[in-house]
Amino acid sequence: MRRWQVLLGAVLAGWSLNAHAAELGIAAFNIAWAGSEADFNEHIRVCTSPQVNWCDTRAKIAKGETAPPPEEDVRAKRCQTEFDTAAGGAGKGMLVAPCNAYKLTASKWKKAAPGIYAEKLDGLRQTVDGLIRARHVDVIAFQEVRSAGVIKEILGSHAADFEVCVADHTAFQTVGFAWRRSVTSKPGKCAPEAGLAIKENPQDPASLRHLRPGVALSLTIGKDPLTLMNVHLKSSCANLITSPAFKGHELTNPDSACQVLNRQVAPLEAWIDGVAKTSPLFVVLGDFNRRLDEEAAKAVAPKDVRTDHTDPAAPNKTGPNGEVSSRFLWQELSDGDPTLVQVPPPVATDCKGFEGLDHILISAALNKRQTGPLSSEKVKVEQKDKQFIMTSDHCPRITRLTL
């Protein structure tokens, strides 16, 4: 009899422990220049103006080169001036999606039928509905979104059950969260991180171009504080390993995009270090625009993470423009103080969007709470056959965590 009492007590104790555990579904989703219909109409007005005529404001860099040729740089600056003039000034021009955002051209636009942007928004709404209804996602970190109003629009019938926030920004793209009200015992709080929004060209005092900020969401799961940090880092310096399509780069490479991403290392690391001290249970997720899996697979001694061979756990020395000696992003962020854990990428997926750029990282303290191996899934975005503007060039990446 005594033996059965002991066994029953053990079962009840285990049930009681698990009764206090909570499972949270989270997702990272880059929604590809998602704005409202009014935002899209302004994009069309500016890009179809005679002086702009769908010109590309970004200077093209030839394959194998680290910067655009002078004539291409001049062309892009001329286009940017015309674009800003048509928008009503440089400040207003920053709030309009550039002419190449939706892969439209003058000839494509002439063939387009009314409602092409509504198709994109419908695809986003259906994709998000599937995340919430079928996969029980509670928190979604969005990248490339124009406003909180756009997030509410694509939440559709779920909008009343979710809270929403975005980081204030002076350009079209920002980052934001949607979270289910019922998952947090205290109201969720958002805190923008402007430090990530570095000036893209620090040598040009007239330039208004800054990168996207970050935003942190603080929730209380049961009695435990949980912080989720949403990022969207500089693009075009994604690969460490050279592939047939993309050249590999370390962060100290002279490539112009890598130099910008390099300057985001110090503010990102400082932000993570600060959150780790106040909220040991934390998640960093979003579009890192960097193959962290390639970096993690490379055996790098601590003394080789930085070109100056200083300890990656020590404060990073910054140059005049905020540049650092870090060669690798992953080894710099997960330097032991704190230690981060990558949620593994899905083994198989029918996603046709970018691969290896969207990541979910969790703290070592949160990893210890997990009752099984970490895993993730990429979900195909909803899109009509022959849809004129694609729903997104990224697929939402989701995971479930135990707290």
Domain ranges of the chain: 23-402
**DSSP-derived 3-state class of residue 220:** strand
Quick check: 371 pLDDT over 80? yes
CA distance 400 to 301: 32
The residue assigned the tokens 């200077």 is 59
In this structure, are residues 17 and 381 in contact, taking their beta carbons and an 8 Å threshold? Answer: no
Quick check: 11 pLDDT over 90? no
The residue assigned the tokens 């928008």 is 87
Quick check: 389 pLDDT over 50? yes
Element (H, E) at 120: helix 116-133
pLDDT for res 245: 82
* Residue 20 banded pLDDT, cuts 50, 70, 90: low
Quick check: 256 pLDDT over 70? yes
pLDDT for res 12: 40
**DSSP-derived 3-state class of residue 91:** helix
- What is the rounded average pLDDT for all residues in the chain? 92
| C-alpha 160, offset from chain centre | 25
- Percent share of the chain, pLDDT over 70: 95
Residue 163 makes CB contacts below 8 A (sequence gap 6+) with 178, 179, 181, 187, 188
Helix 37-47 × helix 116-133 angle, to 10°: 150
pTM of the complete model: 0.93
Quick check: 9 pLDDT over 50? no
Quick check: 233 pLDDT over 70? yes
- Helix ranges (DSSP H) in 177-319: 256-278, 292-297
Order of strands, sheet of 340-342, starting from the edge strand that comes earlier in the sequence: 189-193, 214-221, 224-232, 282-287, 358-363, 340-342
CA angle 240, 244, 245 (to 5 degrees): 75
CA distance 184 to 252: 41
- Beta bridge partners of residue 27, listed in sequence order: 140, 398
Spell out the CATH class of 23-402. Answer: alpha beta
For 315, which DSSP code?
Answer: P
Q: Work out whether the CA dihedral 380, 383, 233, 58 comes out positive or negative.
A: positive
Nearest to 55 by CA among 98, 111, 109: 98
Quick check: 15 pLDDT over 60? no
In this structure, are residues 208 and 252 in contact, taking their beta carbons and an 8 Å threshold? Answer: no
Helix 116-133 × helix 148-155 angle, to 10°: 70
Nearest to 227 by CA among 211, 209, 215, 210: 215
CA distance 179 to 330: 27
Least-confidence region, from 21-25, 132-136, 234-238, 327-331: 21-25
CA distance 48 to 108: 12
Pair of tokens at residue 187 = 């109201």
Per-residue pLDDT, averaged over 109-127, amounts to 95
pLDDT for res 83: 97
CA distance 55 to 49: 10
- Beta bridge partners of residue 179, listed in sequence order: 139, 163
pLDDT for res 312: 95
- Percent share of the chain, pLDDT over 90: 83
For 1, which DSSP code?
Answer: -
